[in-house]
Amino acid sequence: MARTEKVSGPRAAVAPRGPDPTVTTDRAGQWLARLSVVPAAGAAGLLVTGFLLVLAGAFRPVLVLPLGGVAAVALGWCVWRSARGVRLRPDDGARTPTWVVWSTVAVAAVFGVLVGVTHSEQIFVERDPASYVQFGWWLGRHGSLPVAESRWAFGGGVPGMSWNSPAFYQVGPVVWPQFMIGLPMLLAVAKWTAGLGGMLVLNAVLGSLALLAFGGLTARLVGPRIAPFATLLLAFSFPQLFVARSAYSEPLAELLVLAGLCLLLDCRTVRARGAVWVLAGASGLLLGIGELVRVDVLKDLVPAIALAGVFAARRRRYALPFTLFLSAGLAVGAVDGWVLSRPYVTSLSDSVVPLGVIAAAVAVVAAAYALLGRFGRLGPLAPDRIARWRVGRLPVATACGVLVLAAFVAFATRPAWQTVRGATGSTAHYIGYMQGRLGLPHDPGRFYYEYALHWVAWWLGWPAVALAAVAAAVLTARVLGGRAPRWVPVLPILLWTTATTLYLPGITPDHPWADRRLVPTVLPTMVLLACWGLGWLVGLLRSAPGRDGRPWRLAGRLPRRSPRALAVAGVLALLVPLGVATGPLFTATTHRGEVTQLHRLCRAIGPNASVVGLDRSANVYTAAVRGMCGTPVARFYTPTRSRVDAAVAAIRGTGRRPVLLAGSPEVLRKYTDAPLRHVVDLHSRGDQHTFVTRPTGTMSKRLTGWLAHP
């Protein structure tokens, strides 16, 4: 007779393989769960493949499109199949209504169409978007790095001649573009498939997909019915529109981090071991590969590194794949920073090196914690024991919640007790110049970072900030008290990234340009927390019981319609400030006409030419002339008539035509007697420049360029 053994201990906690027969199918929820992560998984496959081909010097459409396409489809399909057992709210038996899916998709689609119609045409390098476009154009056209300086086209060059330009560093005999290579690779793919127009609207697509990922994250953490509303709030906050209209790296970074957090939540709910590995590995890869897009992602991932150690210490099934692929993603970013973007990373060494040290220290501590947990030696550091710690009479969970609320108050009142300074060099010069134009006290070293939380309130409103603060405090107490397990892997990352970004945005405080720092995580975090906080307050008013089991006293004294009235008032408090802030800029277009001017410039330069820039205004066109016109170009920082004449003679000696380029005819007349030609004459609209007030419109902008053929 067979003996039946009673299983106890750790083995009893191991879930059986296969689907859970007690869980009802939630088809709409699964669709939203999949749509929110599969595009990011596909993008990760394409990024990894493209990066390896760039390292091999073989970034060509004949290789990138088929190999990258296969990698994108394969990774996307694996995530799609593994997510079929995902439930948006495992602790909630309700199914997701179909309208939640199509309305969330509709919000993202309307956003994409609006941004695509109002996209900018920044191709002349004045700020980051044009730098990314020129980087992507060169990569798509030549398939390798570094950028060739073409010294031969200038007869070897003359004293005082340089081949660098804004966002392009000259290192010895070659030129290296600024920034990490993630977004330029996708821009190169867009060039191959849709030309320059495709490059200029790529971020409209990435922004829409990031909104889908945010809708999925909201559905998982707050509830599916809240997802469309939260997505609407984020979509039409102006910084979100602003970065999607131009080639900024933030939409791609936002897509990767939000989808990575969604997958991290999903791998904790699926039961099949293979699905756990796929989802956890994809989560780690998406979070880690963000380093390939933005160098400061390492700062944001410090909590993820710590969580990897906690997962391993607690013997979670997803600990190993998450840690392995997070490390692999970070390694890819490190190789990019060391090999392909080294001059750029070196220029940021004052901040990158401390970040690396902090991340390494956290990794060592996480590894030690994991080993202690694996061998059962955590003792008082075990999570269940930490939750029982007390600070005076307060449980540690409550004390931490109070600290989080106090941090929000400190950020809100920061302008009253702190003035952040530290700007030097060209940044200080620009700040001092703009202070004079804006009527502010002359203080060139000032960064205005003490207003960082006010930047958020400009676009979302103070009611949203207040709701987010309350929600962050309550959720912190619940997570540490073991009452909000869904938020455990997400809340530390979101709060840490928000706090560090608000404390040190690391950008010139020129708005709306500086507001891009809020996009990848700060604005999504604030919207997510505000929506949760509003729901929590409504639920508290509706049915929160007292300690004695009786209905909450305040709820008993108020009319039954009070919860509904609070919900309506809360929705209006979130929507009205958003509409007031974004309304004047909703359909604003900037930098239009630059594509037309580029064609005029290239035709005027003509074939077999070598271009020499003579002033700072000409530097704006240097990268476009080199990349999009396909013409060798150099520049003089301190031109003299003798140097220019020597350069003209050297160019003629190679059999090429010399062309002089400047921003005004007065400059050209100093160095040549040849006839002048007005080739760039752009009257357009540009972004406002403000330091301590919210931008409310656009401003007139003009670009001018002159040529001479000596």
- pTM, two decimal places: 0.92
- In tens, the pLDDT along 447-477 reads 999 999 999 999 999 999 999 999 999 999 9
Top-confidence range, 312-316, 337-341, 409-413: 409-413
Average pLDDT of the segment spanning 223-238: 95
pLDDT at 40: 97
Q: How far apart are CA 617 and CA 662, in angstroms?
A: 6
Which H or E element spans position 611?
strand 609-613
pLDDT at 374: 79
pLDDT at 322: 96
- In tens, the pLDDT along 8-27 reads 333 333 444 444 443 446 78
Of 685, 690, 679, the C-alpha closest to 702 is: 685
Question: How many other C-beta atoms are found inside a 10 Å radius of the C-beta of residue 215?
Answer: 32
pLDDT at 239: 96
Of 257, 235, 207, the C-alpha closest to 498 is: 257
Of 606, 611, 601, 604, the C-alpha closest to 161 is: 611
Average pLDDT of the segment spanning 585-590: 92
- In tens, the pLDDT along 123-141 reads 999 989 999 999 999 999 9
pLDDT at 355: 87
pLDDT at 560: 60
pLDDT at 156: 86
Q: Tokens 């809360």 sit at which residue?
A: 570
Whether residue 260 has pLDDT greater than 60: yes
Which of helix, strand or coil describes residue 149?
A: coil
Of 231, 182, 180, the C-alpha closest to 208 is: 231
Tokens at residue 249, please?
Answer: 């790296």
pLDDT at 171: 87
pLDDT at 27: 86
Percent of the chain with pLDDT over 90: 72
Average pLDDT of the segment spanning 419-427: 89
Residue 380: pLDDT band (50, 70, 90) is low
Tokens at residue 168, please?
Answer: 């392009």
pLDDT at 10: 38
Which amino acid belongs to residue 190?
Answer: A
- Does residue 589 come out as left (phi exceeding 0), alpha (psi in the -120 to 50 range) or beta? beta
Question: How many other C-beta atoms are found inside a 10 Å radius of the C-beta of residue 3?
Answer: 4
Average pLDDT of the segment spanning 519-531: 96
pLDDT at 26: 79
Mean pLDDT (the chain, rounded):
89
The residue that leads in pLDDT, 260 or 637, is: 260
Whether residue 160 has pLDDT greater than 90: no
With 0-12 / 13-18 / 19 or more C-beta atoms within 10 angstroms meaning exposed / middle / buried, residue 189 is buried
**For 83-181, where are the alpha helices, taking DSSP H only?**
98-117, 128-142
The secondary structure of 541-606, three-state, reads: HHHCECCCCCECHHHHHCCCCHHHHHHHHHHHHHHHHHHHHHHHHCCCCCCCCHHHHHHHHHHHHC
Residues 6+ apart with CB under 8 A from 443: 421, 431, 432, 435
pLDDT at 385: 66
Q: How far apart are CA 514 and CA 454, in angstroms?
A: 13
pLDDT at 290: 93
- In tens, the pLDDT along 613-658 reads 998 888 999 999 999 999 999 999 889 999 999 999 999 999 999 9
Average pLDDT of the segment spanning 34-42: 96
Of 197, 162, 149, the C-alpha closest to 632 is: 149
List b or e across 488-509, with b for residues whose CB sees 16 or more CB atoms inside 10 angstroms: bbbbbbbbbbbbbbbbbbeebb
Tokens at residue 85, please?
Answer: 């057992």
pLDDT at 91: 58
pLDDT at 7: 38
Whether residue 553 has pLDDT greater than 70: no
pLDDT at 95: 84
Q: How far apart are CA 547 and CA 570, in angstroms?
A: 27
Of 58, 68, 49, 47, the C-alpha closest to 143 is: 58
**By the 8 A CB rule, do 578 and 237 touch?**
yes
Average pLDDT of the segment spanning 480-503: 92
Whether residue 60 has pLDDT greater than 60: yes
Q: Which of 40-49, 145-154, 274-283, 383-392 has the lowest mean pLDDT?
A: 383-392
Tokens at residue 519, please?
Answer: 């996009």
